[in-house]
Amino acid sequence: MSATASDVCPNGGGPPMNTDVCGIGVRIAFYLQTFFLACWSLRSCAPHEVTSALYTVVITNMAMTITVLMLGLKPEPEISFHDALIAFYLLLLSTVTVTFCLSRSRNLSSSFLVLLSIVQSYTFFALGFIILATADTFGNAPTCNNNGLIVVFQSGAAGLPSGRVIGYILVIGLFLAYTGYLIQIHAPAFLKQKAYPPRDLEGDLELTQRNPNAGRNNYMATRANPELWNIKLPPIFDSINFDIILIGKLVVIVGLWIAGAVNSELLIKRSNFATDPDARSEWQFGQVLPMLLVIIPLVGMLESFREHKFRRVNLEERSRHLE
């Protein structure tokens, strides 16, 4: 006799959670890794300092995306529709963090890391579309899929008809926003020529003859100033050796990070996962191992704040880090 929906998901939610995909250790690793990396990128004076950590996050995101698709679409699935939704929420937070970190520097625009992150982002969007398109049959307990939720704080849409529509709106909105961002950053050459008029070569030559270091200083000034959030304060703040803009950006990052983490945990709470009959300790090896990924961004963030603290970093100091 086939199991009914009430047998598989007795609480009106989902089947037992697959902890290998969205267990407590995996979730904490995603939360802390993204937070430390965003803060490190914001305080760092040299984009290359965060490159290794960004590679780790991007590859982890791709591995998570591929794992969810393989385990959810195989003939005998090993994860549920509810597990896939939680993985999507975690990947959303991580993908936004990677995009923010890469947007901090203009000189990384042609690197392999950026190309890899673009592939990862569109793989993430493909995951969202596939989950929604196969929502009726996705996972190992399709009879519970109608209990799936799209949660935004206290509001949420349940059930496949309404929840799927809202899900498509969210994923399509994210897809278009990210694509528009890429078009703006990686514009064709003729658009860049309009934005940056040709330089006066004769004037540059004359300036260089008077000051041999002028060209190098201009180059360093361009590299040392991030493209994103390039905000200037009124002159009254010039005498204060305290980076108020940095504090404001950190407040925004903390707010967005809290929103992402809280929504993910609310989704888990409202999914009403059934109790696993073969319950084991939550902290198995598969939950401890992802926590090691937190070490690199944590150490990098602490080193950056130890060196620069919350003070303003002048152009000369930024240029020294870029050499």
Per residue in 189-248, pLDDT tens? 445 555 555 544 444 445 445 555 544 444 444 444 444 445 555 555 455 566 788 888
Going by C-beta distance under 8 Å and a sequence separation of 6 or more, which residues neighbour residue 243?
310, 311, 312, 313
4-27 exposure pattern, b = at least 16 Cβ within 10 A, e = fewer? eeeebbeeebbbbbbbbbbbebbb
Q: Which amino acid is at 232?
A: K
Instruction: Kindly list the domain boundaries of the chain, sorted by start residue.
Output: 5-193+242-312
Structure tokens at 282: 């939550």
The region that residue 272 occupies, defined by phi over 0 for left and psi between -120 and 50 for alpha, beta otherwise, is left
Q: How many CB atoms lie within 10 A of CB 60?
A: 19
User: What predicted TM-score, i.e. pTM, was given to this entire model?
Assistant: 0.78
Of 15, 6, 110, 131, residue with least CA distance to 65: 131
How far is residue 41's CA from residue 60's CA, in Å, rounded to a whole number?
18
Across the 323 residues of the chain, what is the mean pLDDT of every consecutive 10-residue run? Answer: 52 81 90 92 79 90 94 91 92 92 64 90 95 89 83 67 83 95 71 51 47 47 44 54 79 91 89 75 78 90 85 59 49
